[in-house]
């Protein structure tokens, strides 16, 4: 028997709440179909790629007194991509619905992510196994991975494994790339009359997998509350010591939902939003000037301290650096087979690259500190992108702000002190005990995923809406994965991808920050959220994100 903390013992007892339609029982459901759907972009190409699953309707469920017990069915589940709080509860909800529908049903968990279904590595879930992981963080129940499902050979192997286990449904729990896998697998199974359905579940702490039907991806609530607690602690420390500027980089490569949400929860002095930087075409110099002016103005008030939130993906949103990185990727692709470059020392490599970059891009690269140049030359991720989490943007900004303030000091425009600390909060939020919201939401997503399978649907993403209301009033259903698709160039080829949801600069969430940022910059309106609360009044334990509250409130005012 493994050792459990007191909190884990109590969390294992927590019974997640379900929407009213699902709470009546998995066999007492009626499917309601909406209108046919279209993809977000590149309609003809996406329709051709997914000709067998394209254009299906959005669906919802409602209770019915008529009870229909389905035939026995086996289901496989895959955890895919990076961890997010609540993944275990998706599996628990799926398992409970499956067993409630027919006790003879079996749930298989494929080990190590999508590779598990290709290699035939799996476990069969039991009551005991599931009960050990209810309401816990992490993906360790079966592990995760980032294997892409896209080749004929992979699909054939997956089909054989499913046939061997008599599996008729697969649930893939993951983010945008993982659910692209789900769509491709669903299309292939239908095209080949495999008789196997595929359902996705929306996961990513980055919060960029959402639309009108997917209000929030699971894990975002817990992760942002975890980061907000840590940043609240730093805010209090800064306000106590009054001698450090803390530059904090936060998860969020492609969108700044995490940074924006955490800012609304804690009210730091500076919050950079990548989408705003790109929209306003802010240069690196302008960003440094903006930060330096706030540091200087606070110093005039005797405040040589503060907090600045930096999005992980910021560097790729700065126009001149974005251009340089694009050019750099092309140059590195050519130099990959250049023996002279590969055998050169670091400084020579820098010189070779500068000579091959376009004029302005070369100047930008040359202007960067050595540390950042080194990080820009690191191996690319599986999609051919710079690994921005390894680029220490917070250190770059500290160095450049420090240089700017020295210049201002010589000119008599800065009389304060600047001493900085840097932090990067990423992994700290990915495997926390899920908040009550994420515990409930994830359980509902898993339970709902089986409902979609039960009604014979495939190529759908499990959807639970109306999430700022109490759980009983949530609306369960499904959205076709093709509805979220467009094309994107990767490794020189156009691939189907799910459109990422960026921060909307005319939306209610950013407007809330914009309205308050000048006051927060100078006045210390810090909020200290404290740790996530699991027990106590609903007003403390069941609150959701500011993002969800503001977005759903805005929807109500436009109805």
**H-type helices in 282-318, by residue range?**
284-300
Q: How distant, in Å, are the alpha carbons of 73, 264, 381 from that of 192? A: 20, 49, 32
CB 481 within 8 A of CB 461: yes
Respond yes or no: is residue 164 known to be catalytic: no
CB 361 within 8 A of CB 327: yes
Catalytic option among 206, 361, 440, 524: 206
CB 324 within 8 A of CB 365: yes
Q: How distant, in Å, are the alpha carbons of 41, 318, 486 from that of 499? A: 9, 21, 6
- CA separation for the pair 453, 462 (Å, rounded): 10
- CA separation for the pair 195, 545 (Å, rounded): 40
| HEC letters along 309-373 | EEECCHHHCCHHHHHHHHHHHHHHHHHCCCHHHHCCCHHHHHHHHHHHCCHHHHHHHHHCCHHHH
- Name which of 163, 102, 184, 95 is nearest 131 in CA terms: 95
Angle, helices 319-335/359-367, rounded to nearest 10 degrees: 100
CB 271 within 8 A of CB 260: yes
- CA separation for the pair 108, 128 (Å, rounded): 14
The order of strands in the sheet holding 245-250 is 270-271, 306-311, 245-250, 420-425
The number of angstroms, rounded, from the C-alpha of 158 to the middle of its chain's C-alpha atoms is 26
- DSSP for 187-203, written as a single string: HHHHHTT---EEEEEEB
**Helix H or strand E segment including 108:** strand 106-110
Catalytic residues: 206
């Amino acid at each position: 028997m493994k050792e459990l903390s007191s909190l884990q013992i109590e969390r294992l007892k927590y019974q997640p709440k379900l929407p009213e339609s699902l709470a009546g029982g998995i066999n007492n459901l009626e499917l309601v179909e909406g209108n046919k759907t279209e993809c977000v972009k590149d309609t003809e190409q996406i329709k051709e790629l997914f000709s067998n699953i394209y254009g299906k309707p959005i669906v919802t469920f409602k209770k019915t007194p008529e009870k229909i017990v389905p035939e026995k069915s086996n289901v496989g589940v895959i955890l895919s991509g990076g961890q997010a709080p609540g993944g275990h509860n998706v599996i628990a909800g799926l398992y409970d619905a499956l067993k409630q529908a027919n006790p003879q049903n079996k749930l298989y968990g494929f080990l190590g992510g999508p590779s598990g279904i290709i290699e035939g590595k799996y476990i069969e879930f039991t009551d005991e196994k599931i009960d050990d992981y209810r309401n816990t963080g992490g993906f360790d129940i079966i592990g995760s991975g980032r294997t892409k499902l896209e080749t004929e050979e992979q699909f054939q192997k997956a089909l054989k494994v499913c046939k061997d286990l008599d599996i008729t449904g697969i649930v893939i729990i993951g983010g945008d790339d993982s659910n692209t896998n789900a769509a491709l697998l669903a299309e292939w199974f239908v095209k080949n009359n495999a008789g196997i359905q595929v359902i996705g579940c929306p996961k990513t702490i980055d919060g960029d997998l959402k639309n009108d039907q997917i209000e929030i991806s699971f894990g975002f609530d817990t992760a942002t509350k975890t980061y907000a607690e840590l940043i609240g602690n730093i805010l209090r420390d800064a306000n106590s010591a009054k001698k450090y500027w803390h530059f904090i980089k936060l998860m969020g490569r492609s969108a700044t939902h995490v940074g924006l949400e955490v800012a609304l929860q804690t009210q730091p002095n500076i919050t950079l939003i990548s989408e705003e930087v790109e929209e306003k075409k802010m240069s690196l110099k302008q960003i440094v000037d903006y930060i330096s002016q706030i540091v200087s103005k606070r110093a005039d008030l005797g405040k040589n301290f503060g907090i600045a939130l930096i999005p992980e993906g910021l560097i790729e949103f700065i126009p001149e650096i974005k251009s340089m990185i694009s050019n750099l990727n092309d140059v590195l692709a050519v130099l990959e087979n250049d023996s002279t470059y590969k055998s050169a020392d670091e400084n020579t490599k820098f010189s070779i690259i500068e000579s091959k970059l376009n004029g302005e891009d070369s100047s930008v690269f040359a202007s960067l500190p050595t540390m950042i140049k080194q990080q820009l030359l690191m191996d690319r991720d599986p999609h051919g992108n710079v690994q921005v989490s390894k680029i220490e943007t917070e250190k770059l900004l500290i160095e450049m702000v420090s240089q700017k303030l020295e210049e201002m000091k010589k000119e008599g425009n800065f009389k304060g002190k600047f001493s900085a600390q840097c932090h990067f909060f990423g992994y700290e939020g990915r495997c926390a005990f899920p908040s009550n919201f994420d515990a409930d939401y994830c359980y509902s997503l898993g339970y709902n995923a089986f409902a979609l399978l039960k009604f014979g649907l495939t190529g759908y993403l499990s959807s639970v809406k109306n999430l700022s209301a109490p759980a009983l009033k949530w609306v369960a259903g499904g959205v076709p994965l093709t509805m979220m698709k467009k094309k994107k160039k990767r490794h020189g080829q156009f691939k189907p991808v799910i459109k990422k949801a960026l921060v909307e600069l005319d939306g209610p969430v950013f407007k809330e920050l914009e309205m308050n940022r000048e006051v927060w910059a100078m006045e210390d309106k810090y909020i200290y959220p404290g740790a996530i609360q699991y027990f106590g009044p609903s007003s403390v334990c069941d609150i959701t994100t500011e993002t969800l509250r503001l977005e759903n409130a805005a929807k109500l005012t436009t109805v």
